[in-house]
Amino acid sequence: MTEMIETLVIGAGAVGLAIARELSARGQEVLVAERNHGIGLETSARNSEVIHAGLYYPPGSLKAEFCVKGRQMLYGFCREAGVEARAIGKLVVAVTPDEIPKLHAIQETARAIGVTDLEFLSSAEAMVLEPALSCVAALFSPSTGIVDSTAYMLALQAALESQGGAVVLRTSFIRAEAGTNGFRVTLRDAEGGEMDLLCRRLINAAGHGAHQAASSIAGYDAKLLPQRFLAKGSYCSVSGTSPFKRLIYPVPVPGGLGIHLTLDLGGAAKLGPDVEWVETLDYTVSPDIAPRFKAAVASYWPGAASRELSPSSCGIRPKVHGPDKASADFILQGPGTHGLPGLVHLFGIESPGLTSSLALAERVALLAG
């Protein structure tokens, strides 16, 4: 007999695990299929591990809604689960007078979506907080923070399993067919063996694989697939002790937030990411990016010239807009869009996806029914 479960989630990144935890907490039997040998090894493990306050997202957008709500939920979950997360704050800096209006625009956008704790600082005020900084003005965001993303995902998995759910690794989603009472799904293990199962709900949280998964579901209209783009972002580690106690961001650039300085929970600094539009999922870090990174941050951190930068890691953002377009919103497609009860697709879940994960999970639960 074909095995039957209530809900199958494709993808064990931060968002997929958060969705699985939420659905299992609502009493559903949940299985998560992950093609890699571990959880969260793609987008969720290759980012700045920043808890975003919600400064850049247009009012009415899903990114704005889920970032602001998800940030509060994430801090709360981490406290309860014993996951390290700190609201260390960040400064968004203007390095020339013509960038000051951009800071005011960011503050107004943030206020419109419910971020009311931003403080506009003069150059002198900013440099009292961070003496190594150079700027003409800054926005201070006290609720921005950093989190141990691996520990967070492990805590989500533990919560899921304590509620009767399970994660199966090295297991790929191959195809599905919509029926009258759900979906017939084919999964494939690492040795090539295939198994079929029936599920009432199917959640596509496959990240970079979301488009392929969606196009492999018979009954789903491929015309609903958004475009797919990949934006690679590389990082450099910084030698020595960080001169900063907070995150330092320039004003945003097309495709991203600019090469910024972030800190890990041990206090070590890294710079990045940059933006490189690519065609494939290649996680090779170019060995010659350090001079360019030094030049990019010199305007707000002159001391970078005396530090050694080492290319360290990279991530690839699952974009639904190209380099010549404005930043796109998250895309959630439920039955109201495609007409298949119990099916939810998530596309373009890039930053602030980690911050938004718990809030996204609540919305997906409603869409899935």
Q: Are 178 and 340 within 8 A, CB to CB? A: yes
Exposure b/e, 126-153, CB count within 10 A at least 16 = b = bbeebebbbbbbbbbbebbbbbbbbbbb
3-state helix, strand, coil in the chain (%, to 5): 30, 30, 40
CA–CA distance, 259 with 251 (Å, rounded to integer): 10
Find the distance separating the first CA and the last CA of the chain, reported in whole Å: 26
Classified as helix, coil or strand, 94 is: strand
Contacts 24+ apart (CB under 8 A), 122-130: 126/91, 126/93, 129/91, 129/245, 129/246, 130/91, 130/243, 130/244, 130/245, 130/246, 130/248
Residue 95 amino acid letter: V
What does the DSSP 8-state code read for residue 364? H
CA–CA distance, 272 with 257 (Å, rounded to integer): 9
Distances (CA, A) of 85 to 111, 112, 146, 188, 198: 24, 26, 6, 36, 38
Classified as helix, coil or strand, 281 is: coil
Residue with tokens 């790929």: 172
Q: Are 361 and 22 within 8 A, CB to CB? A: yes
- In order along its 369 residues, the chain shows pLDDT tens digits of 589 999 999 999 999 999 999 999 999 999 999 999 999 999 999 999 999 999 999 999 999 999 999 999 999 999 999 999 999 999 999 999 999 999 999 999 999 999 999 999 999 999 999 999 999 999 999 999 999 999 999 999 999 999 999 999 999 999 999 998 899 999 999 999 999 999 999 999 999 999 999 999 999 999 999 999 999 999 999 999 999 999 999 998 776 788 999 999 999 999 999 999 999 999 999 999 999 999 999 999 999 999 999 999 999 999 999 998 888 999 999 999 999 999 999 999 999 999 999 999 999 999 999
Give one DSSP letter per residue of 115-167, joined into a string: ----EEEEHHHHHHH-TT---SEEEEETT-EEE-HHHHHHHHHHHHHHTT-EE
Domains along the chain?
3-47+150-227+327-368 (3.50.50.60), 90-142+229-319 (3.30.9.10)
